[in-house]
């Protein structure tokens, strides 16, 4: 008896939906793209519970005939491709014919549409992939798609959805992307009946950008306009001094489609090379335009990635375009013409540098710096005895199992991290500010302002909600210097809009950053006394023998291994 079976259509569609529909924002993305491809000049989105319970997308596009409604929810049915050759020159946002059937297979979907010359619209209801009948309905010209109870029939997927506030954040960021890509279109987003975004049509991408993000001074963003062979690069690039702790405000489009492309990220990184501290990101809005036949957008189910036929030419165009905008007349970075995709270039660009900060190595008396251990006498002796410093970076030690090599930077980083964390947990004294410091949260997390205020307060600051989408900080841990307070708060609120991290994860990131910047560095000479003090402190804290990033602190050369080198037992 055969054990191989053809999957039922409903199950096949649900599997396909898993590749395309990850969360409510994925539904919004697919429906927005359909609306834009239909020539819409106005798009309205309504969400309930962050999109978990209801998503409504209305547009004034060309609409569909009644007989097309049933076809629209069939897999691989599309009006955007006619022949195999069309696949090699895709000029529309959608093209696979998978969006509506994927959504319909994991939700309760109602689609209504009306074409210009029709006296009435047509409506179709689909529940979990089961079609109802096409019926007439009253409707303005365009299409209205309502999605209810997303993943109601796939509980394993539904349980992985995040809280409504988090899902709403993803939807807001997505709407911002499409609003930037199509400034000629009016966009509205409502959540639980409250207006979150209301953007009238704009004349140009620049105008739309500053409407969306008025917090950035126009003088800080230079106009990018450059053409290399058939590749045109246009948009905005921030002056190097306008850099943030997050890449959230880096927007890159290819032929009007938002992508996260390693080649483009590498070109951006090289364009800003040596212009600001590593680990900081410029504000950027770039649209790369090239012939549709020169870019393959069919390399990822969600169309997030693209492939260029002339990757080197695109890299050159982006690099030169940005450099000419932010530093006209300046020479290009060395090896500017080469790009070999390996590990994520954005990470590689930011990971090989540690910012130095001049500060005493250890503090044993009251000070404005972070609290270290009270005194050497209060420490338990470490099981390791410092013997020497190797290349002013590593401590050579004697210990119970043999020779030990300690990375002095990561050891001190772990010490500072543990001390800061424990100080916060004990709720140390707070120094009030003369005046409250208000901070505006990015649009995609404004609805979580109370959460951010509570988190800061729990971490040793005095913070409270200060109107819609704003947090007022009234005081900070007393041991922090003014410079450190500014650094921590700026980093915290700059990176608040990162969607892949919760506020608590953002705080940990800032704490790790501060621990790193205040630590002894490689190539810093230490006395034998200070080396031993570092070892005693490390072991007295009982902390994991890895730095907060996860790197090992100590490497052991066991006695048996050393004796074997010399032929001894």
Residues 6+ apart with CB under 8 A from 6: none
pLDDT number for residue 342: 37
Over residues 158-169, the mean pLDDT reads 90
> How many independent structural domains does the chain possess?
3
In a domain, 519, yes or no: yes
Whether 99 contacts 31, CB under 8 Å: yes
Residue 286 has pLDDT above 50, yes or no: yes
Q: pLDDT, tens digit, for every residue of 101-115?
A: 889 889 999 999 999
Residue predicted with more confidence, 480 or 256: 256
DSSP state of 249: G
- Reported as a pLDDT band with limits 50, 70 and 90, residue 197 is very high
Query: Percent of the chain, pLDDT > 90?
Result: 44
Average pLDDT, whole number, for the chain? 82
Over residues 55-67, the mean pLDDT reads 94
Find the CATH number of the domain harbouring 535: 3.30.1540.20
Do 532 and 401 share a structural domain? yes
Of 147-156, 192-201, 538-547, which one has max mean pLDDT? 192-201
- Reported as a pLDDT band with limits 50, 70 and 90, residue 2 is low
Over residues 436-462, the mean pLDDT reads 88
Do 143 and 114 share a structural domain? yes
Q: pLDDT, tens digit, for every residue of 385-432?
A: 999 999 999 999 999 989 999 999 999 988 888 877 776 667 678 899
Domain boundary at 345, 360, 391, which? 345
Beta-ladder partners of 399: 402
Query: Percent of the chain, pLDDT > 70?
Result: 79
- Reported as a pLDDT band with limits 50, 70 and 90, residue 97 is low
21, HSE (Cβ side, Cα atoms, 13 Å):
28
Find the CATH number of the domain harbouring 315: 3.30.230.10
Do 311 and 398 share a structural domain? no
Residue 193 has pLDDT above 50, yes or no: yes
pLDDT number for residue 417: 84
Longest dimension (CA), the chain: 98
Do 523 and 403 share a structural domain? yes
Q: pLDDT, tens digit, for every residue of 536-558?
A: 999 888 877 887 777 889 999 99
Do 402 and 289 share a structural domain? no
Over residues 149-163, the mean pLDDT reads 89
Of 146-160, 297-311, 387-401, 469-483, the least confident: 297-311
Do 192 and 330 share a structural domain? no
- Reported as a pLDDT band with limits 50, 70 and 90, residue 354 is very low
pLDDT number for residue 492: 83
Whether 106 contacts 20, CB under 8 Å: no
In a domain, 362, yes or no: no
Nearest CA-CA partner of 295 in 261, 342, 340, 346: 261
Q: How far is CA 326 from the centre of its chain?
A: 24
Q: pLDDT, tens digit, for every residue of 432-448?
A: 999 999 999 988 888 88
Find the CATH number of the domain harbouring 92: 3.30.565.10
Do 27 and 154 share a structural domain? yes
- Reported as a pLDDT band with limits 50, 70 and 90, residue 346 is very low
pLDDT number for residue 428: 73
Residue predicted with more confidence, 444 or 367: 444
Domain boundary at 345, 367, 386, which? 345
Over residues 14-20, the mean pLDDT reads 61
What tokens appear for 235 in the block?
């948009």
pLDDT number for residue 456: 87
In a domain, 17, yes or no: yes
In a domain, 486, yes or no: yes
229, HSE (Cβ side, Cα atoms, 13 Å):
12
Residue 562 to residue 415: CA distance in whole angstroms: 30
pLDDT number for residue 356: 26
Q: What SS3 state is found at 111? A: strand
pLDDT number for residue 363: 30
In a domain, 308, yes or no: yes
What's the CA angle centered on 229, arms 223 and 233, to 5 degrees?
20
Domain boundary at 165, 199, 233, which? 199
Residue 295 has pLDDT above 90, yes or no: no
Residue predicted with more confidence, 94 or 180: 180
What tokens appear for 15 in the block?
């599997």
Q: pLDDT, tens digit, for every residue of 374-388?
A: 334 468 899 999 999
pLDDT number for residue 421: 75
pLDDT number for residue 349: 24
Do 286 and 172 share a structural domain? no
pLDDT number for residue 355: 24
Over residues 508-512, the mean pLDDT reads 66
pLDDT number for residue 500: 46
Q: pLDDT, tens digit, for every residue of 334-345?
A: 544 444 443 332
Whether 145 contacts 57, CB under 8 Å: yes
Residue 465 has pLDDT above 90, yes or no: yes
Do 110 and 27 share a structural domain? yes
Residue 518 has pLDDT above 70, yes or no: no
Beta-ladder partners of 282: 243
Sheet with 257-258, edge to edge strand ranges: 221-228, 231-238, 284-289, 250-254, 257-258
pLDDT number for residue 413: 87
Do 243 and 98 share a structural domain? no
Do 121 and 22 share a structural domain? yes
Do 467 and 382 share a structural domain? yes
The boundaries of the domain holding residue 529 are: 376-555
Residue 154 region, left (φ>0) first, then alpha (ψ -120 to 50), else beta?
Answer: beta
Residue 364 has pLDDT above 80, yes or no: no
pLDDT number for residue 359: 28
Whether 252 contacts 308, CB under 8 Å: no
pLDDT number for residue 568: 84
In a domain, 566, yes or no: no
In a domain, 361, yes or no: no
Nearest CA-CA partner of 27 in 199, 130, 158, 174: 174
pTM: 0.69
- Reported as a pLDDT band with limits 50, 70 and 90, residue 53 is very high
Whether 19 contacts 42, CB under 8 Å: no
Residue predicted with more confidence, 86 or 400: 400
In a domain, 408, yes or no: yes
Of 275-289, 486-500, 547-561, the least confident: 486-500
pLDDT number for residue 477: 82
């Amino acid at each position: 008896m055969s054990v191989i079976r053809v999957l039922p259509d409903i199950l096949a569609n649900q599997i396909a939906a898993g590749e395309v529909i990850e969360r409510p924002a994925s539904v919004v993305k697919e429906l927005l793209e359909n609306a834009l491809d239909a020539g819409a000049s106005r798009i309205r989105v309504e969400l309930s519970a962050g999109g978990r319970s209801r998503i409504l997308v209305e547009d004034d596009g060309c609409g569909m005939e009644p007989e097309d409604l049933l076809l629209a929810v069939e897999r691989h049915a599309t009006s955007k491709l006619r022949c195999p050759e069309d696949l090699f020159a895709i000029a529309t946002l959608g093209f696979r014919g998978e969006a509506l059937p994927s959504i319909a297979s994991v939700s309760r979907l109602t689609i209504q549409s009306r074409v210009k010359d029709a006296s009435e619209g047509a409506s179709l209801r689909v529940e979990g992939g089961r079609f109802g009948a096409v019926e007439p309905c009253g409707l303005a010209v365009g299409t209205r798609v309502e999605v209810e109870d997303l993943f109601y029939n796939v509980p394993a997927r539904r349980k992985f959805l995040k809280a409504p506030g988090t899902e709403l954040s993803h939807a807001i960021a997505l709407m911002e992307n499409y609003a930037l890509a199509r400034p000629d279109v009016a966009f509205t987003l409502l959540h639980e009946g409250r207006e979150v975004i209301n953007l009238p049509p704009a004349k140009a991408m620049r105008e739309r950008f500053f409407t969306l993000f008025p917090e950035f001074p126009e003088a800080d963003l230079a106009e990018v306009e450059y053409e290399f062979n058939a590749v045109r690069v246009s948009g905005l690039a921030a002056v190097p001094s306008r850099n943030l702790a997050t890449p959230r405000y880096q927007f890159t489009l290819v032929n009007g489609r938002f992508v996260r492309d390693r080649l483009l990220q590498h070109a951006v990184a090289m364009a800003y090379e040596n212009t600001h501290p590593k680990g900081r990101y410029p504000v950027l809005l770039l649209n790369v335009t090239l012939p549709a036949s020169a870019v393959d957008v069919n390399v990822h189910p969600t169309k997030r990635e693209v492939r260029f036929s002339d990757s080197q030419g695109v890299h050159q165009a982006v690099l030169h375009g940005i450099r000419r905008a932010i530093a006209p007349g300046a020479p290009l970075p060395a090896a500017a013409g080469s790009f070999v995709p390996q590990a994520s270039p954005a990470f590689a660009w930011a990971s090989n540098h540690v910012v130095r900060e001049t500060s005493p190595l250890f503090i044993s008396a009251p000070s404005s710096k972070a609290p270290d251990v009270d005194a050497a006498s209060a420490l338990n002796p470490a099981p390791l005895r410092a013997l020497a410093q190797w290349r002013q970076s590593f401590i050579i030690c004697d210990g119970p199992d043999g020779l030990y090599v300690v990375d002095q930077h990561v050891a001190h980083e772990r010490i500072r991290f543990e001390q800061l964390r424990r100080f916060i947990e004990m709720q140390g004294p707070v120094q009030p500010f003369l005046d409250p410091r208000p901070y505006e949260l990015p649009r995609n997390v404004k609805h979580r302002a109370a959460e951010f205020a509570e988190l800061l307060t729990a971490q040793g600051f005095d913070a409270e909600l200060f109107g819609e989408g704003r947090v007022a900080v009234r005081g900070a841990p007393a041991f922090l210097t003014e410079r450190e307070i500014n650094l921590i708060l700026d980093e915290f609120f700059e990176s608040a809009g990162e969607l892949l991290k919760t506020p608590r994860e953002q705080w940990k990131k800032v704490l790790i950053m501060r621990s790193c910047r205040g630590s002894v560095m490689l190539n810093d000479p230490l006395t034998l006394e200070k080396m031993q003090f570092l070892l005693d402190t490390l072991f007295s804290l009982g902390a994991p023998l890895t730095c907060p990033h996860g790197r090992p602190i100590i490497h052991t050369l066991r006695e048996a291994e050393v004796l074997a080198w010399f032929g001894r037992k």
